[in-house]
Amino acid sequence: MTEKLLEVKNLKQYFNIGKPKEVRAVDDISFDIYKGETLGLVGESGCGKSTTGRTLIRLYNATGGEVLYDGVNVHGKKSGKELKEFNQKMQMIFQDPYASLNPRMKISDIIAEGIDIHGLAKSPKERLEKVYKLLETVGLNKEHANRYPHEFSGGQRQRIGIARALAVEPEFIIADEPISALDVSIQAQVVNLLKKLQKERELTYLFIAHDLSMVKYISDRIGVMYFGKLVELAPADDLYRNPVHPYTQSLLSAIPLPDPEYERSRKRKAYRPDIHQYEDGEDVRMREISPGHFVNCSEKEFEQYKANYNHKK
Amino acid sequence: MKKLLEVKDLHISFHTFAGEVQAIRGVDFDLHEGETLAIVGESGSGKSVTTKSIMRLLPQGNSEIKSGEILFNGENLATASEKKMQKIRGKDISMIFQDPMTSLNPTMTIGKQIMEPLIKHRNLGKKEATERTIKLLDLVGIPKPETRLKQYPHQFSGGMRQRVVIAIALACAPKVLIADEPTTALDVTIQGQILDLMKDLQKKIETSIIFITHDLGVVANVADRVAVMYGGKIVEVGTVDEIFYNPQHPYTWGLISSMPSLDSQDEELFVIPGTPPDLLHPPKGDAFAPRNPYAMKIDKEEQPPMFKVSDTHYAATWLLHPDAPKVEPPLAVQERQAKFHASIKGDK
């Protein structure tokens, strides 16, 4: 991996600040995303993975910390022009292909909305040509341009969502559970498409999901979140072969696999946060256990994890 | 094993403005005592319609059971009266739905909702019903049942709500439990807990389960037998080992190969090409033929019957006809079959 595209430093996103119901959705997390890679983000619902994605793209204003995109602070004060430039570089694909397309707009207008805003087409003809080309890229055809969202199946809608994200020629795409609303056979189609586009256009992805086997398949590196914290960050293979944090181990032990024999002998590990028994003021942070493999732990646990880690090799 | 439920040549249609949609086109299956039968297939393959018809929960007016029988306890549920069905629902056959958010009444305490079938079907008094409810909540693993039963659904998390739904379904110890994607809306870790709970309760209450899902990992975990549905028909049925290690139908091959395994490397995921059949105008031949790379001429002209693979394993594909040419299934399936044959030899 070469260049850092995105640096997240001590990002915090709290809701209901100062009220009794304060929620620390994202609580002091740091990670980098390199150019051309796919970073997977997994965790159970409510762990803050979607909030992280949304904060990165400025859908929320961060409570604390900073996000640097190509060295520029995403949440810093920007002029309208700078903001527009930034918005063109970063795009998002949403989870629910039914809710994320305006039912009263034609497909061509949905896809071209970004093209219009950024003035990427000089004439109506060029605009339409761009839309046709995008539809082709995602495996639909130009007859689809004049239809409305309700005429499409879930998988096709997700393709439209992808075409819309690609319309402004972004560098970085945040995919927030893009396949969890789809059937197994359709999931494979969308994942293949995302991979193909990444190769052709040198895109960088943040792939948020809770389906762990799909995440393993698409990601180069994976971050595991638990209650607003990043607990482990490692190359995809390494994470599955040598999960270190007890929460990661519990998560991996729960993945159902299409193999009855394996399922009969499966043992699930439960995770209890109180096994850590951190003392007050103990220094708990991300520590590098082997090159590129980070775990959130205390100094004491770090020694333990490290000892165990080497045995497994 | 004794047959508890028999579905014979079931045909169901929906009447729409565009015409008659033939959602179920001749489904046959049995449910044995104490077993878990999983029904898998993509959206629109008819798995939910089949099970809803067993409960007779299909919308009145635009749906119609054209022909076929659903035999339960010597009675044909396909033609039973609504009054009769009300006695069966929740008592002999009950159902767990996909989304625990919408299947509970937000304005009723969960205690009341669990007591409802007990009071209606078992004629229990309020005090007895409350006692039984506390026992049920304890059984499904909800801590502090005495205080929890006075709470409303919004005070529970998703996993806890699904436990409540299971408690309602099991309140009268039904003979058949239909679970329609009960874990799809839940997280992996919670999903594991709910699956373990259901298996545990199945042993305690001795109920048979029909489990609908499109997650093959879940199927491998819970099922004794598996039925694969496509285009309103069952295309393959067998024990869980037969379906996963020795699948015969090209559609089952496609389903199994399109899931990434945890050690699959960088190759492209297998994709079943094309789209599901239009059941408004069902094809003359095999509904899967247009998407089937192994399709032969006869596939487009005539529907394949169920060919016998073993006593428990049947598949509807012309590839099993003695005159059909030998074909090579996808690599992932070949690996599984090799393992299967090796294990059979090992047994002998």
Per the CB < 8 A criterion, the answer to whether A250 and A270 are in contact is yes
* B15 and B152 belong to one structural domain: yes
Both structure tokens of A147: 């239809």
Q: Do A260 and B218 touch (CB under 8 A)?
A: no
Condensed to tens digits (0 to 9), the pLDDT of residues B113-136 reads 999 999 989 899 999 999 999 999
Q: Considering only alpha carbons, which residue of chain A is nearest residue B270?
A: A188
Condensed to tens digits (0 to 9), the pLDDT of residues A79-121 reads 888 888 888 999 999 888 888 999 999 999 999 999 999 999 9
Question: Of B223, B244, B279, which marks where a domain is finished?
Answer: B223
- A110 C-beta neighbours (distance < 10 Å), count: 21
Per the CB < 8 A criterion, the answer to whether A58 and A84 are in contact is no
* B280 and B197 belong to one structural domain: no
Tell me the average pLDDT across B102-123: 92
Angle at B180 between CA A249 and CA A182, to 5 degrees: 65
* B51 and B131 belong to one structural domain: yes
Give the separation between CA A225 and CA A227, rounded to whole angstroms.
7
* B261 and B321 belong to one structural domain: yes
* B195 and B270 belong to one structural domain: no
Sign of CA dihedral B322, B328, B333, B335: positive
* B125 and B249 belong to one structural domain: no
Domains of chain A: 4-312 (3.40.50.300)
B256 interfaces chain A, CB cutoff of 8 Å: yes
Both structure tokens of A225: 């979140």
Instruction: Output the pLDDT for position B348.
Output: 45
* B263 and B213 belong to one structural domain: no
Nearest to B165 by CA among B212, B106, B218, B100: B100
* B19 and B110 belong to one structural domain: yes
Per the CB < 8 A criterion, the answer to whether A160 and A152 are in contact is yes
Tell me the average pLDDT across B48-67: 91
Q: For testing the chain B interface, which of A194, A225, A242, A259 should be mutated: the one with the most B CBs within 10 Å?
A: A259
Condensed to tens digits (0 to 9), the pLDDT of residues A217-263 reads 899 999 999 989 999 999 998 998 899 999 999 988 888 888 888 88
Element (H, E) at A225: strand A221-226
Mean confidence (pLDDT) of chain A: 89
Q: Considering only alpha carbons, which residue of chain A is nearest residue B245?
A: A259
Q: In a 3-state reduction of DSSP, which class is residue B91?
A: coil
Split into its structural domains, chain B has a count of: 2
Tell me the average pLDDT across A153-182: 89
Question: Which residues of chain B does A45 touch, with a Cβ-Cβ cutoff of 8 Å?
Answer: 158, 187
Give the separation between CA B127 and CA B331, rounded to whole angstroms.
61
- B315 C-beta neighbours (distance < 10 Å), count: 25
Question: Which residues of chain B does A271 touch, with a Cβ-Cβ cutoff of 8 Å?
Answer: 189
Q: Quote the crossing angle between the two packed helices A124-137 and A154-166, to the nearest 10°.
A: 130
Q: Do A260 and B259 touch (CB under 8 A)?
A: no
Tell me the average pLDDT across B2-21: 92
Q: In a 3-state reduction of DSSP, which class is residue B291?
A: helix
A256 interfaces chain B, CB cutoff of 8 Å: yes
Q: Which residues 6+ apart lie within 8 Å of B345 measured at CB?
A: none
Question: Which residues of chain A does B192 touch, with a Cβ-Cβ cutoff of 8 Å?
Answer: 254, 256, 268
Tell me the average pLDDT across B201-212: 92
Q: Which residues 6+ apart lie within 8 Å of A85 measured at CB?
A: none
Structural domain range at position B305:
228-347
Q: Do B217 and A258 touch (CB under 8 A)?
A: yes
* B184 and B236 belong to one structural domain: no
Q: Is pLDDT at A14 greater than 80 in this prediction?
A: yes
For A185, which of B158, B221, B254 is closest by C-beta distance? B254
Question: Which residues of chain A does B271 touch, with a Cβ-Cβ cutoff of 8 Å?
Answer: 185, 188-189, 192
Q: Which residues 6+ apart lie within 8 Å of A263 measured at CB?
A: A256, A257, B217, B220, B221
pLDDT band with cut points at 50, 70 and 90 for residue B272: confident
Place of tokens 């599984």: B336
* B19 and B158 belong to one structural domain: yes
Tell me the average pLDDT across B281-294: 89
The torsion angles phi and psi of A24, rounded to 5 degrees, stand at: -95, 80
Condensed to tens digits (0 to 9), the pLDDT of residues B69-87 reads 999 988 999 999 999 999 9
Condensed to tens digits (0 to 9), the pLDDT of residues A31-72 reads 999 999 999 999 887 888 889 999 999 899 899 999 999 888
Q: Do A254 and B256 touch (CB under 8 A)?
A: no
User: What ipTM was assigned to the predicted interfaces of this complex?
Assistant: 0.76
Radius of gyration of chain A (CA): 21
Question: In chain B, pLDDT over 70 holds for what percent of residues?
Answer: 97
Edge-to-edge order in the sheet of strand B176-180: B93-96, B176-180, B208-212, B36-40, B225-230, B233-239, B314-315, B307-308
Condensed to tens digits (0 to 9), the pLDDT of residues A283-292 reads 888 999 888 8
Q: Is pLDDT at B263 greater than 70 in this prediction?
A: no
Q: Do B220 and A212 touch (CB under 8 A)?
A: no
The torsion angles phi and psi of A145, rounded to 5 degrees, stand at: -60, -30
Question: Of B206, B223, B240, which marks where a domain is finished?
Answer: B223
User: What secondary structure letter does DSSP report for B261?
Assistant: P
Q: Is pLDDT at B171 greater than 80 in this prediction?
A: yes
Question: If you average pLDDT over each of A117-121, A303-307, A308-312, B275-279, which comes out highest?
Answer: A117-121
Question: Of B223, B242, B259, which marks where a domain is finished?
Answer: B223
Q: Is pLDDT at B295 greater than 50 in this prediction?
A: yes
Question: Which residues of chain A does B141 touch, with a Cβ-Cβ cutoff of 8 Å?
Answer: none
User: What secondary structure letter does DSSP report for B157?
Assistant: -
Distance from CA of B131 to the nearest CA of A (A): 30
Place of tokens 């035999």: B71
Instruction: Output the pLDDT for position B327.
Output: 87
* B150 and B239 belong to one structural domain: no
A308 interfaces chain B, CB cutoff of 8 Å: no
CATH number (domain holding residue B197): 3.40.50.300
Instruction: Output the pLDDT for position B347.
Output: 54
* B198 and B293 belong to one structural domain: no
Tell me the average pLDDT across A182-205: 88
Condensed to tens digits (0 to 9), the pLDDT of residues A291-302 reads 889 999 988 888
Place of tokens 């050690």: B263
B218 interfaces chain A, CB cutoff of 8 Å: yes
Give the separation between CA B288 and CA B276, rounded to whole angstroms.
8
Out of A134-148, A269-283, B191-205, which region has the weakest mean confidence (pLDDT)?
Answer: A269-283
Q: Would you call B324 exposed, middle or buried from its count of C-beta atoms within 10 A (0-12, 13-18, 19+)? A: middle
Question: Which residues of chain A does B244 touch, with a Cβ-Cβ cutoff of 8 Å?
Answer: 258-260
Instruction: Output the pLDDT for position A141.
Output: 85
Question: Which residues of chain A does B261 touch, with a Cβ-Cβ cutoff of 8 Å?
Answer: 213, 257-258
